[in-house]
Structure 1
Amino acid sequence: MEIIWIAVAYVLGLGASYFGLPPLVGYLIGGFVLGGWGISGGPVIHTITELGVLLLLFGIGLKLDLKSLLQWEVLGIGATHLIALGIGFTLLFLTAKIAQSPALFLSLGLAFSSTVFAAKVLEEKGELGAFHGRLAIGILILQDLVAVGMLVAAENGALSLWTPIFLLCTPLLRLPLKQALTWSGHSELLLLYGLLVALGGAHTFQALGLGTELGALVAGMLLADHSRSEELSKTLWGLKEAFLVGFFLQIGLEGLPNLQDSKWLLPLIIFLPLKAVLYFFLGTLFGLRARTAFLTSLALFSYSEFLLIAAAVGAKNGILPSTWLPSLALLVTISFIIAAPLSRASHTLFAYFERWLVRFERQVPHPDEEPQNVGQAKWLIVGMGRTGTAAYDLLTQRHQRALGLDSDLVIVRQHLEEKRRVVYGDAEDPNLLEKISVNSLVGVILGMPDLEAKLRLSKDLRQNGFQGMLAAMSFYPEEDAKLYENGINLIFHPFNEAGERLAERALAEANSITLKPLPLNPMEKAPIRPPP
C-alpha cells in the first residue's frame, strides 16, 4: 500500500514542479486522489507525518535566536493580528447562529497561519534567516503557543504538576545536550543524536501536557547557538523532507466534504486575503519597511494545520461538530495551493506593486533599514555564510577593502563581534542597488546559495552600470548558462574545484619538500618503500 501513495506523491509532485509550483501542491492533490480511490494512509503514514512535523519544528528551533522572538515587532504584530482576527471571525460565526464555544474555537484556529507551510517555503528560498523570515517564524511560534493552550483546554486536561518545575530547569539541559552534540561526530551518530533529541523533547513535553510540536521546537532552540547546529540541520534535512510528504498527503486523505457541509468554504476563502492585508498594515504600523511587511504577509498567507489538529480534538470532545473536519481539510489545502505561487513570486510581486505599497511606510527609523553606501570598500561579498566569510578573510589578508552584506541580522551581529565590516542588506530587495553606489567597486562576490537570488542581483548590477568582476558559486552544471547570461564573469564549482585546489596545494607542497634517501633493506639490498 505504501508504494501506491509514494508513487502518486512523486508523479503529482513532479507535475506541480513542471508548472512552476512547489511539489507540496502535488502532494496535497495526491492526498485527495488517494482518498477518492478509497485508499487510507493507515498507521504508517500517520507515523511518518508526525515524524516529519517534529523534525521540521526541531530544525526551526536550531535556527532560532531567542532575542528575535522577543522583538517588539514579533509580539506586537503577532498578538494584535491574533486578537483582531479572533474577534472578527467570532462575530461572523455568532451572527450565523453558531454556538459560542465552537465559534470561539473555530475563530482562533482560523487566525493561525501554517508553520509547516511557511517554514517549508522560506527554507526552499533560503530565507529562514532573513529579517522577514525570522519575523514570520517568530509570529508563528507565538501562534503555536496559543494553539497548545487551545489543545489543552479542549482536552479538559490540566498541566502536570511537574510542568512549571521542568520549564524552569530547561535551560540547565543546554550544556549536556551541547556536549553530547560535540561527541556525536560527523557520521550516522549525528543523525541518531538529532532524532533522539527531537523525539525526546517532543515526548517529554507531551507527558507534561504541553504538546509534542512545542517540545521539538524547544529542543532545537536549546542547541541553536552551538557551532555545529547548522551541520545537524543539514544532516536531518533529507529525512525531514521525505517524512513531510506524508503530512501533505494526509491532509488530502481527510476526504472531500459534501455540498451541505461546504457552505462555509467560499466565505472563508474570500477572507484569506484579509489575513495577509492585516499582516501588511500591522507591519507598517509597527515601523517595518513596506517590503518586509509584504514578504512577511505572503509567508503567512495560509490557514494552519493546527486548525485541523484543534478541530479534530474539539470534535472528539464535543466542542465542534465532526462534519466540519472535511471542510476544514479542504480549506487548508486550497489555502496552500493559493499561497504557494504567491510566496514563490513574492519578490517579483513586490517589485510590481512597490510604488503603491511604499506609501504606507511610516517615516520612522526602520529595524530593517539597509545601507546607504559601501564606503571605501573595493569588494562586496553578498551572503556571509562559510563561503562569503572565507572570501572576505582572504581579501582582507591581501589588504583589499571588503564589505560583507547579509540578510540575517544575527549573522551580521556575529561578524561585527569578530571585527568584520558586515552590514544588513537583502540581495533580493530591488531597491538595494538604488541605495548604495557600486560603481566604485572592483568586484562583487555572490556567496548566497539560492540561484534565483543570484540571477536577480547579477542582472540588476549589470543594468545599473556595474562593469567590475562578478563572481558566483554554481552547484549544478545546468545553472552555468543562466549565470553567464545574467552577467557573471567567474563561476566557481565548489564540489569539483575543491578537489582541484587540494591537488594544486599538494603539488606545491611536494615540490618544496626535500626528499631524503630511503633506508636500505639489508636482506634485499633495495630501498624500503612504504606500501602504495
Structure 2
Amino acid sequence: MAGSSDLYSPVMSDALVILGAAGIVIPVFNRFRITPVIGFILVGLLVGPFALGRHVFDYPWLSYVTITDPDGLEVFAEFGIILLLFSIGLELSFRRLWDMRRMVFGLGSLELVFIGGAITFVLAAIGQSFSGALALGLALALSSTALVLKITEATTPVGQAALAMLLFEDIALVPIIFLLGALAPHAGTDGVGELLHTLLWGTLAVGALLVLGRYLLPPLFAQAARTKSPELFLAASLLVVILASLATAAAGLSPIVGALVAGLLIAETEYHAEVEQITEPFKGLALGVFLITIGMSIDLAVVWENLGSILIATVAVLVLKATVTGVMLRLMGARRGTATETGILMSSPSETTLIVLTAASTAQLIQPGTAQFWQIVTALGLTVTPLLALAGKIMARQVDGVEAPHRAPADQGQPRTLIVGFGRVGHLVADMLARHGRPYLAVDSNTDLIAEGRRRGYSVAFGDAGRGDALLRLGAAEAAAVILTMDEPVTAQRIVRKLRAEFPDLPIRARARDADHAAQLYRAGASYAVPETLESSLQLSEAALVETGVAMGPVIASIHEKRDEFREMIMERGGLAEKPSLRSGQLREPA
C-alpha cells in the first residue's frame, strides 16, 4: 500500500532514529548525571555513514537504525545551533554581567586571550596560515558551558572561577561569530571594501534589533502570556528567534548572531524564565540533532589512520589549556588546589568549539579536512570531560594536602525570598519584606499585575509556578524562603510537594483557605500554612480586646498562644508530628 511505503520512507526512518536516540540517550545519561552531549556524539558516530551506515548495502535492515540521508539533517542541525546561541543569550542578562563584571571581564578575558594566543602561536609555527591558526585558536580556547556548569557548583571557588570564564566566552561568541560571519563571503579575496560594507550593515542590523526588541518584545510576550496558552508563547519565542536570525543573515552575518541578540533582549524582560523553560525541550532536541551530525562526520577509518596525531593533538590542547588557566589563576591569588582543579576542568574544548569550527570552515579560513580533524579532537575532549573533572578533584586534594573548600566565602548579600502570587496578599508580603530590607522576587502569571507592580517599583517577574521548573529557574535553590500567596488550593499543594522533594531544607510558607486546606499543605511539606479564616478571626479578636480595655501586651501574647494551639490542632488533623524546626518558623539566613 502507498501509505505503508510512505511510513517506511528514509525521512521517517531517520526521524525514528533521532527520536529513539533522544529517548534513550537523555534519560540514561541523566541517570548518571552526565550531559547528553556525549551520548548524542556517540550515537551519531554509531549510526552515521562511517560506522553501521557503511554496511547498509550488505544488511538492508540496518537502514532502519541508521541515518540514511545525513545531508537532510543539516537544516535541523543549523536550527540546533541557533537555539543553542539563543539559550546562551537568555542566560546573559546585562544585570548578571554587571554583578560579575570584574571576574568576567578580567579573569575571563585574560583566559581567552592567553589560551587563544598560545594555540594560535603553536599552530602558526607548525605551518597553519595565520588566519586559520587564529580561527582554530579562538575555537579551541572555548570550554564547555553545558558540561562544566553541570559538573561543578557555582558556590565553590572552582565554580565561581569557571562561571566567570564561561560567561566571558559566551559573550566573546558575539564578536567571534560576527567576525567569521563578516569574513565568510570574502575569505579568499582582498575585498576590504566589501568587508567593511558587510560590517556596516551587520552593525546596523544588530543595532536595529536592540532598539526594536527593547520596545516590541515586552508587549508581544505580555499579549502571549495573557492568553494563558503555552503554544502561543512558544510560537512567539520561535518567531522572535527566527526573525532575528533572518535579519542578521540578510545583512551578511551568520544567523546565530541574531539568535544570540534575541536571547539577550528577552533576558532583559520579565518573561525570560518562561521563555527558557518553554523552549528547553526544542533546544535540547535540536542541539541533539546537531551533535548527532557531528558524530556522523567522524570517519572511524580516518581516526584509526591518524590515531597518533589525534591523540597527540587532544593531549596537547588539554595540557596547554590546563597549564595556562592554572598558572593564570595562581598568579591572580587563587589557591593551588583551586587553580589546579579549575585548569583541568576547563581544559577540554566546547560544544561551541564545533560551531566556530563550522563557521571557520564555511569562511574558508581552514580546509574541510582540517575542520574534521579538530572536530574529532573536540568530540574526544568533550567525551573525557567528566573524567577530567574527577582527575582535577583528586589532584587538587594532593596539591593542597587537604580537601578543597566546598563553598566560597559567604556573600555579603542576602538570599532573596520568592513570593509566588502577586495579588493583594503578595503585595502586602512584598511591602513588609522591603520595609525590613529583605530582598525578594514576586512571581505571577498575570501580565497586568506584573506591569502594574513594575511601574510601582516592585521586583516582579513573569512565571507560571505550577508548570515545569519555573521556580527553579527563578532561584528557588538559593532562596531564603518561598511564600505561596495564591488562592489556588490544588496548585499550591502541587508546588509545595514539588519544592519539598527538590529542596528538603527550604522554608515554605503557604496561604490556606481553611484548616482542612492547611492540613493538606502540611502533608505536602509546607513549613508553615496560614488559614485565612483563622487570621481574620484572630485580628478581629485582637481589635475587640484592645477596644474593651485589655492591655496590648497580654492581647498579643494570647493571640500567639491561640495561633499555636490552632496550628498544633491542624498538624494533628493532618496526621503530622510537630517539628521544632518548623515550629520556630525561621527563614534561611545567609551562610
Q: Give TM-score scaled by structure 1 length.
A: 0.64
State the partner residue of 1:322: 368
Distance of 1:284 and 1:386 partners within structure 2: 42
Indicate yes or no: 2:46 matched with 1:33: yes
State the partner residue of 2:444: none
State the partner residue of 1:216: 259
Indicate yes or no: 2:248 matched with 1:205: yes
1:64, 1:221 within 8 Å by CA — same for their partners in 2? yes
Could you tell me which runs of 5 or more consecutive residues in structure 1 were left unpaired when the two chains were aligned.
360-367, 375-380, 407-416, 421-446, 458-471, 513-532
Deviation at 1:90, TM superposition (A): 3.2
1:261, 1:323 within 8 Å by CA — same for their partners in 2? no
Distance of 2:186 and 2:384 partners within structure 1: 35
2:433, 2:440 within 8 Å by CA — same for their partners in 1? no
2:521, 2:529 within 8 Å by CA — same for their partners in 1? no
Distance of 2:498 and 2:389 partners within structure 1: 24
Q: 3-state DSSP class of the match of 1:302?
A: coil
- 1:259 is aligned, of 298, 304, 317, to 304
Distance of 2:506 and 2:362 partners within structure 1: 62
Indicate yes or no: 2:179 matched with 1:149: yes
Q: 3-state DSSP class of the match of 1:223?
A: helix
Equivalent residue runs for 1:420-459 within 5 Å? 449=476
Larger radius of gyration: 2
Label 1:8 to 1:99 Cα distance change in 2 as closer, same or farther (>3 A). same
Distance of 1:448 and 1:302 partners within structure 2: 29
Distance of 2:95 and 2:154 partners within structure 1: 24
Label 1:283 to 1:145 Cα distance change in 2 as closer, same or farther (>3 A). farther
1:275, 1:301 within 8 Å by CA — same for their partners in 2? yes
State the partner residue of 1:410: none
1:49, 1:247 within 8 Å by CA — same for their partners in 2? yes
1:148, 1:211 within 8 Å by CA — same for their partners in 2? yes
Deviation at 1:474, TM superposition (A): 5.9
Q: 3-state DSSP class of the match of 1:222?
A: helix
Indicate yes or no: 2:66 matched with 1:48: no
Q: 3-state DSSP class of the match of 2:186?
A: coil
Q: 3-state DSSP class of the match of 1:84?
A: helix
Distance of 1:171 and 1:316 partners within structure 2: 27
1:155, 1:313 within 8 Å by CA — same for their partners in 2? no
**Residue type at the aligned position of 1:61:** G
**Residue type at the aligned position of 2:106:** G
Indicate yes or no: 2:280 matched with 1:237: yes
Distance of 1:290 and 1:344 partners within structure 2: 17
**Residue type at the aligned position of 2:180:** M
Deviation at 1:123, TM superposition (A): 11
Label 1:24 to 1:90 Cα distance change in 2 as closer, same or farther (>3 A). closer
Label 1:24 to 1:83 Cα distance change in 2 as closer, same or farther (>3 A). closer
Q: 3-state DSSP class of the match of 2:384?
A: helix
Distance of 2:324 and 2:369 partners within structure 1: 30
Label 1:260 to 1:320 Cα distance change in 2 as closer, same or farther (>3 A). farther
Label 1:94 to 1:49 Cα distance change in 2 as closer, same or farther (>3 A). closer
Distance of 2:401 and 2:156 partners within structure 1: 27
Distance of 2:113 and 2:417 partners within structure 1: 38
State the partner residue of 1:196: 239
Distance of 1:403 and 1:210 partners within structure 2: 45
Distance of 1:123 and 1:249 partners within structure 2: 28
Label 1:149 to 1:122 Cα distance change in 2 as closer, same or farther (>3 A). farther
Aligned length in residues: 434
What is the RMSD computed on CA atoms of the aligned residues? Answer: 5.2
The alignment-based identity, stated in percent, is 21
**Residue type at the aligned position of 1:8:** A
Deviation at 1:144, TM superposition (A): 4.4
Q: Deviation digits for residues 366-385 of structure 1, max 9, x if unmatched?
A: xx86348x9xxxxxx85644
Equivalent residue runs for 1:399-410 within 5 Å? none
Q: Deviation digits for residues 138-180 of structure 1, max 9, x if unmatched?
A: 3322144224313432441631643333344444210122221
Higher relative helix content: 2
Distance of 1:505 and 1:131 partners within structure 2: 46
**Residue type at the aligned position of 1:21:** I
State the partner residue of 2:290: 247
Deviation at 1:306, TM superposition (A): 4.5
Indicate yes or no: 2:199 matched with 1:163: no
Indicate yes or no: 2:33 matched with 1:5: no
